Chains A and B, each alone.
Chain A
Amino acid sequence: MTKRIEAMLDDILNKRHHKYRQHIDSAVFTQFTRELFLKGLSDTERSVKRLAFVLELEKPVVFPEEKIAFMRTVPKIPEIFTDKEWSDIKAKHFIHEQGKVCNISPNYGRTIKLGLDARREEVIQYLETAEDGEVRQFYRSVLDTIDIVLSFVDRYAQEARRVGNTEVAEILNRVPRYGAVTFNEALQSFRVLHYILWASFNYHNTIGRFDQYMFPYLKADLDSGHLNYDQAFELLEEFFLTFNRDSDLYPGIQQGDNGQSMVLGGVDSEGKDASNILTEMCLKASLEMNLIDPKINLRVNKDTGQEMFELGTRLTKQGLGFPQYSNDDIVIPGLVEKGYSLEDARNYVVAACWEFIIPGVGMDIPNIGALAYADIVDKTLRYALEESKSFDGFMDRVKDEIFSWADIETNKFGNIYMEPSPMMSLLMDGCISSGKDISHGSRYNNYGLHGTGISTAADSLAAIKRYIFEEKLLTAEELIKAIDANYVGYEDILQKLKYEAPKMGNDDDYVDDIAKELMETFAKALVGKTNERGGCYRAGTGSAMFYVWHAKDLGATPDGRRKGEFLSANYAPSLNAKTKGPVSIIRSFAKPDLIKTINGGPLTLEIHDTVFKGEDSISKVATFVKHFMDMGGHQLQINSVNRDKLLDAQKNPDMYKNLIVRVWGWSGYFVELDKEYQDHIIQRVELSI
C-alpha cells in the first residue's frame, strides 16, 4: 500500500471525512416533500425534483491528493410522498421494503463507455418519435436527470480546480459526459453514476461484474504504458476506498447491510472462464484494504484453478467474511431452468447479499418473501401428527402444507408499486427503447422466496420419525405438550431430542434426505406460479434477517430447540447441533438438488481462526472450498472466527472498532451491530470447528 492510500484509509477508518457532513434540519426535507405534494406533481417528476434538490444541497468536496472524487455531505435523502400519501399508496398497493427500486445490478459499463452526452442523444431520438404522454414524460425525466448530473459534475470540477487538483478537474471535464478512455476515467465515471443512484434514493446498488466491464480500460492503459501495474493497483485501492466513504448513510437493516456487492470471475457469454488480471487485482486490493466494502463475490466453476481459490482463502483468513463463492456449474443451469436465457444466465451476479440476478436486464425481487420451514412443521404436527399412521404419511401432510403456503404466499404481492427512477432506468438495458421506467419491470421480473430454518425443520422431522414412529418413545400428544411447555418438566425428552436425535450436517442420510425432500417440495410448489408481471417464483436457501424474525414467532421445536433460541442464518446446520465437522457439513448440504432452489443463499460455515495457522493451511482450506463445489454446492461463505475475541469485543467495544464479522449476506463492524445480532454470531461461533 502506498503512503497516499495509507493516509486516505486512515482518514476513513477514523471517520475524519464525516466532518464535511452537513447538519440539515429534518424540517427542510419534510418541507421539500410537502411542496412536491402541493404542486401536484407526478411521481416521475417528483423523482427528478428530488435528485435536483439533493444535488443542489450537496457541497462538493475534493481532496488535493485524491484521484477519484465524489463524497456525500447531505446525510439524508427526502421522500417524494408525504406520510399521508404513503399510507394511501400502501392501502392500494403491495410495497416491497421502502417502495424504491433497489437490489438490482445496473449496466454501468455501457454508460461508462458511451458517456452521458451520447446517452442523451439516444433518449432524444426516442423522444422525437414517441407519442404517448407518459412515455414522453419518462424520456424528459431521463433527459432532465442527465442535465442535473452533468451540471453537478461541473460544480465538482470547479471545486477540484479551486483546491488545485487539476487532474481530477480535467477528468471530470471528460467523464461521465464522454465515454471513458483511461482506467482512471472509467473508475471516476463509475463513481459518479453510483453516487447518483444513492442520491436518487435507490439502494442496495450492487457493483456487478466489475472485472469484466472495467477490464478493457485497465488493459488499454497497461498495454499503452499509460499506467504500470503498481499505478493501476494504487488507483484500484483508492477506488475501493470510495465505497466506504458514504456507506453509513445508505439504508439497511444494520450498519454494513448496504448491498455493495462486487462479483469477480465466472464465465463469459460463451461459457469460457473469464477471469483476468483485474480479478486477481481486486482480490489483492481487498486483502490489503481490509474493509467491508466492496463485498467480494467470487464466481467459480470446474475450470477455476487452485490459485484463485487460494487468493480467496487469503481473504477468508483475514476474517472479512468474504469472498462468498458461487458455483457457475450449478447456478447457470438453475437459472436456465427458471427461464433465463443461457447467455443472460452466464452473466449472473449477486444482489445485495447472495440472490442471483442478471445485470442490466433483471428487475427481479429476489427477497420478496420467505418460507419458514420450521413453522410449516409446527403447524402440520398440530393437526396431522396424531392421525398419521406412518412417518411417510406425516411427511406427505407437511408437503401439502408447503403447497398451501405457496398458494397463499404468492398471492400477497399484487398491484406492486415502486417509485420511478429515471437514473436507474438510464442504466438498465431496454428502458430507453421501451419508454418504460425500470420500476415497471424489465426482461426478468421474477420474485424470489427465501427458505429459512431448513436444518431446524429437517432435524425436527428426523426426531419425529425416530422417536414417534420408529422407537415409539413418545406419542404425538406428548410431543405437543412438551413443545408447548417449552420442555419445562420434559427435560429427559429434551435431552434425547437435542443431543441424541440425528442432525443435519453429519452426513447422515436419515436426516439429510428429509431436508432434500423439503427443499424439493418448496421448489415444486412454486413451479408454474407467476406474478402479475409475468415473472416466475424462485425458491431459495437464504435467510436474510428472517432467521431472527422467524425465530421470535416460533415456539419450541421438536429438535430440542427452546423458544427464543435462534435459527441458523442462511443454509447451515442448526445452532443446536454439534456436527462431526466441516467435511460432514459440506457433504450433507451438497445432497439436495441445489439447481432447483437457485434463488441464492450460501452454506455458511464458521472455522476457528487457528485452522489458518501454518503455511499450508491456505491450500487446505482452498481445496475444501473447491470440494464443496465439485460435489454440487451452489454457494459458500466461510467465516474465520475466534469466540474469545468476540466476547471481549462485546465488553470492550472501543478496542475492537475494526473487527469485521459476517452477518447474513454482508459483513459489518461487530461493535456496530445490535446485541441480538452480536449474540447470534457468538452462538454460531461456539460450534466452530
Chain B
Amino acid sequence: MSTGMIFDIIEFAVHDGPGIRKTVFFKGCPLRCNWCHNPESQSFEKEVMVIKGRRSDCGMKYEATALAEELLKGKEILEKSRGGITISGGEPLAQPAFLLELIEALKPVHIALDTSGYAPNRIFKSVTEGVDLVLFDIKHTDPVVHKRVTGVDNRLILENLEYLCSTDKEFYVRIPLIPGINDTMKNMEKIAELIKGARGLTKVDILPYHKTAGAKYPMIGKKYKPLFDIDRSPKVYLEPFKKYNIRSEVM
C-alpha cells in the first residue's frame, strides 16, 4: 500500500475534461514553471500556508484506497454528467506507485490525467494505459527556452508526446499561454506540427495567463518573480491548429 501527498481536491471542476469532475491535485513537481499559479504544488513536502493571517497546513498524506474513497464520495453526479475524476498536480507522474494504485482503485469511473509529460517513458506509458483521457500540457517546443522558463529540458516531454500521438489514447493538449514567453505564432505552429494527425487528439485548450497567478507566493513565504510583463494580455494564435483541422478552444 503506497501513500502519496496531495494538496487539494476541487469538486465541480468543469474545465478539466468531459462532464462534471472532481480534480485532485498531487503535491510535488519536478518543473518550476516561472508563471506557476500554484506554488504550493511544487514541493513534495508539507508546507505552512498563511492566508489572511491564519496559518494552515498545506499537504495531505493519503493511502491510495482512502483517497479513492474520498474522491468517489458523491460520484453519482460525475457519472450522470459523463464526467469523472481528474488527477492533476503538481506532477502526478512524480508519485508513480501511488498514482497507479489510485487509478486501479478509482475504476471504473472515467479518469483523466493532467500532466506536464515530464517522466520516464516507462512510467508515462504504464500510467496512460490505465486512464481514459490525458490532458497533456505543452509549454514550449524550444528546449533552451523550456529549460529557462520551467527549469527542465523538454526532451522527455516531447518523447512522451510523440508516444501519445502514436497511440489511440484520447488526449487534449493544454497550452498555458504566457505573454512574451510562449505566445508566438512560431511556437503554436511547432506544437501543431507535433500533434497533427494524432488519432487520439480531441482538441487543444488554450489557457491564457491570469494576472492573479502570483497571489499564493507570499502565502508560502516565496517571492513571485515573473520573467514577463504580467499586465500584457497574451497573444492568441489559433490559425496553426485550424490549418490541420484541430479543434481549439480558449478557456
Contacts and interface: CB of A to CB of B under 8 A. Distances in A.
A450 interface: no
A481 B206 CA distance: 55
Contacts of A615: 249
The 10 A-B pairs at the shortest CB distance, nearest first, are namely A581-B11, A623-B81, A583-B11, A627-B77, A582-B12, A620-B14, A581-B12, A583-B74, A620-B20, A617-B14
A624 B20 contact: yes
Interface residues on B, range: 20 to 34
Given A613-B15, A614-B14, A617-B14, A584 B74 contact: yes
A611 B20 contact: no
A581 B54 CA distance: 21
A587 interface: yes
B230 to A, nearest CB: 16
Interface string B33-64: 00000000000000000000010100000000
A499 B81 contact: no
A580 B11 CA distance: 7
A606 interface: no
A689 B83 CA distance: 18
B11 A614 contact: no
Contacts of B22: 583
B18 to A, nearest CB: 8
B161 to A, nearest CB: 24
Contacts of A621: 14
B76 interface: yes
B80 A623 contact: yes
Contacts of A617: 14
A584 B20 contact: no
Interface in A476-534: 495, 499, 507
A583 B12 contact: yes
Contacts of B15: 613-614
B19 interface: yes
A583 B77 contact: yes
A676 B11 CA distance: 31
A619 B14 CA distance: 10
B249 A614 contact: yes
B144 interface: no
Contacts of B81: 619-620, 623-624
The main secondary structure of chain A at its interface with chain B is helix
A495 B54 contact: yes
B9 interface: yes
Interface string A167-209: 0000000000000000000000000000000000000000000
Contacts of A623: 19-20, 77, 80-81
Interface string A605-634: 000000101111101110110110000000
B12 A587 contact: no
Nearest to A581: B11
A582 B22 CA distance: 11
A614 B249 CA distance: 8
Nearest to A644: B212
A506 to B, nearest CB: 10
A590 to B, nearest CB: 11
B217 to A, nearest CB: 20
Contacts of A626: 80
A499 B54 contact: yes
B77 to A, nearest CB: 5
A587 B14 contact: no
Given A499-B54, A581-B12, A624-B20, A613 B74 contact: no
B74 A587 contact: yes
A626 B19 CA distance: 14
Given A624-B20, A624-B81, 7 more contacts: A495-B54, A580-B9, A581-B12, A583-B20, A614-B251, A620-B14, A623-B81
A14 to B, nearest CB: 32
Contacts of A584: 11, 74
A689 B77 contact: no
A357 B193 CA distance: 63
Interface in A157-173: none
Interface string B210-237: 0000000000000000000000000000
Contacts of B54: 495, 499
Nearest to B83: A620
B76 A627 contact: yes
B10 interface: yes
A503 B179 CA distance: 41
A611 B81 CA distance: 15
Contacts of B20: 583, 620, 623-624
B73 A507 contact: yes
A123 B73 CA distance: 62
Given A495-B54, A507-B73, A623-B80, A611 B14 contact: yes
Contacts of A624: 12, 20, 77, 81
A653 B5 CA distance: 46
Interface in A296-343: none
Given A580-B9, A614-B15, A620-B20, A627 B249 contact: no
Contacts of A619: 81
A584 B18 CA distance: 20
